[in-house]
Amino acid sequence: MLLDVGGLVEEVVALYSRSAAVRRVRVESERKSTSLVSGFRGQLIQVFGNLIRNATEAAPPDSAITVRVRPVHRRGRSGVCVLVLDRGRGIPQSVRMKMFDPFFTTKDLKGSGLGLWVSKRIIAQHDGTIRFRSSERAGLNGTVFEVFLPTADRPAVVQLPSLRSVAEKGTSEEKSGDEEELPLKAAKAN
Ligand SMILES: Nc1ncnc2c1ncn2[C@@H]1O[C@H](COP(=O)(O)OP(=O)(O)OP(=O)(O)O)[C@@H](O)[C@H]1O
Ligand SMILES: [Mg+2]
């Protein structure tokens, strides 16, 4: 499915800003228009929902978290970057090593510890990347997670030769056959 990630993130922000407000955390969202991404809506809602929830839970009261969507180029690929930033305590080294493991949580009964583990898989299936940077240094403390999703491949244009050009030049069936396989390959990766 072709998705507008900015719109999707906006919906997720709306969903979680109430629980953020209960913790006296503001959600500041910034959004530039971006290209469409090919993906599974429900899965990406899980990813962004978890990142926003994690940031909200890490943020101190009376602070703001930032959720930013913008177009980017990454290693020759164009795509969409979603950044989620909080001014929490930062992630200790011992947690960084395990936080993408299944069932690893520091939230006792309040967390299942599946959020980041599932997210990493979902993003990989979308041919994207997820990375983070975190600091525990007083004054500079906080964490930023960044998800990159590549722009959807343009649908292959299957050009049927006109009868007249067939009569004049013959067909090139193999070539158009190749072009038709592109979307299938993309579908397999998902
Ligand atoms: N923004 C953040 N700031 C500080 N620690 C974080 C942040 N994001 C994740 N973590 C740490 O990583 C751990 C794993 O996060 P993950 O989202 O996978 O699980 P969880 O939030 O504990 O539970 P849930 O399954 O409900 O998401 C968290 O328990 C927390 O210790
Ligand atoms: Mg979580």
Closest atom of ligand 1 to CA, residue 113: 19
Provide the residue range defining the domain that includes 179: 157-190
Same-domain check for residues 178 and 144: no
| Predicted pLDDT at 61 | 97
Helix axes 5-22, 41-58, angle to 10 degrees: 30
- Tens digits of residue pLDDT in 7-52: 999 999 999 999 999 999 999 999 999 999 999 999 999 999 999 9
Nearest 5°: the CA angle 22, 14, 66 is 75
Mutate to test the pocket of ligand 1, among 25, 46, 53, 54 (most ligand atoms within 8 A of CB): 54
Burial class (CB in 10 A: 0-12, 13-18, 19+), 82: buried
How far apart, in Å, are the Cα atoms of 188 and each of 76, 140, 176, 182? 22, 43, 20, 10
| pLDDT mean across residues, the chain | 87
Same-domain check for residues 55 and 134: yes
pTM here?
0.83
Average pLDDT over residues 67-76: 96
Same-domain check for residues 140 and 163: no
Answer yes or no: is the C-beta of 50 below 6 A from any ligand 1 atom: yes
Same-domain check for residues 10 and 88: yes
98: domain CATH number is 3.30.565.10
| 123: number of Cβ within 10 Å | 20
Nearest 5°: the CA angle 15, 118, 93 is 100
Quote the number of domains for the chain: 2
Q: Determine the distance from the C-alpha atom of residue 56 to the mean position of all C-alpha atoms in its chain, rounded to a whole number.
A: 18
pLDDT at 172 over 90: no
Same-domain check for residues 140 and 177: no
| Predicted pLDDT at 189 | 35
Average pLDDT over residues 56-81: 97
Token readout for 82 is: 């979603």
Highest mean pLDDT range out of 121-125, 156-160, 184-188?
Answer: 121-125
Q: Which ligand sits nearest to residue 53's alpha carbon?
A: 2
Q: Which ligand sits nearest to residue 141's alpha carbon?
A: 1
Same-domain check for residues 101 and 49: yes
36 C-alpha to center of ligand 1: Å?
28
Between CA 147 and CA 42 the distance in angstroms is: 16
Q: Check residue 151 and report its DSSP letter.
A: B
